[in-house]
């Protein structure tokens, strides 16, 4: 248990929704029970975020986020097209311990990542 010097917290490193810039809270530490068990939530702007603790399963996290955005209707989700029906944005280099996004190309191992999906026709839902 050595002394850990935390770098000064920078506002720019606060994790934010890439669509609206709204900061989001620390995602719960999830121990996936099975593969593809990602924490998902909905930003106030309507974007769905999915958290990949390892940063290596973003493709799966993306699919879950898309399905989640379509009320878990996978058939519908799979029929939709990126850029046409929804937009995808990524946020990586997330340090869960500090709850901040490391800028630049510091180091990658052990960092999490997020993928955000926002439907272009939100008014058709709900």
The residue from 17, 48, 77, 80 that contacts Zn ion (CB under 5 A) is 17
d(CA 126, CA 10): 37
Asked whether position 41 contacts Zn ion by CB under 5 A, the answer is no
- Strand, helix or coil for residue 75: helix
The residue from 30, 42, 45, 79 that contacts Zn ion (CB under 5 A) is 45
d(CA 15, CA 5): 21
The residue from 13, 27, 47, 113 that contacts Zn ion (CB under 5 A) is 47
CB of 47 to Zn ion, least distance (A): 4
Which residues are within 8 A (CB) of 15 and not within 5 positions of it... i.e. 6 or more apart? 23, 24, 91, 94, 99, 100, 101, 114
d(CA 2, CA 28): 26
CB of 9 to Zn ion, least distance (A): 21
The residue from 20, 42, 79, 122 that contacts Zn ion (CB under 5 A) is 20
Asked whether position 19 contacts Zn ion by CB under 5 A, the answer is yes
CB of 109 to Zn ion, least distance (A): 28
CB-CB neighbours of 9 under 10 Å: 11
Q: Which is nearer to Zn ion, 108 or 120 (CB)?
A: 120
In the complex, which residues of this chain contact Zn ion (CB under 5 A)?
A: 17, 19-20, 22, 43, 45, 47
């Amino acid at each position: 248990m050595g002394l850990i010097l935390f770098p000064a917290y920078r506002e720019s490193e606060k994790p934010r929704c890439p669509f609206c810039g709204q900061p989001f809270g620390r995602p719960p530490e999830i121990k996936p029970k099975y593969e593809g068990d990602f924490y998902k939530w909905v930003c106030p702007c309507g974007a769905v975020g999915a958290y990949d603790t390892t940063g290596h399963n973003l493709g799966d996290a993306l699919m879950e986020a898309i399905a989640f955005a379509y009320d878990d209707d996978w058939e519908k989700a799979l029929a939709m097209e990126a850029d046409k029906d929804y937009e995808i944005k990524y946020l990586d280099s997330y340090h869960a311990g500090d709850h901040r996004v490391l800028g630049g190309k510091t180091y990658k191992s052990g960092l999490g990542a997020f993928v955000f999906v926002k439907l272009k026709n939100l008014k058709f839902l709900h």
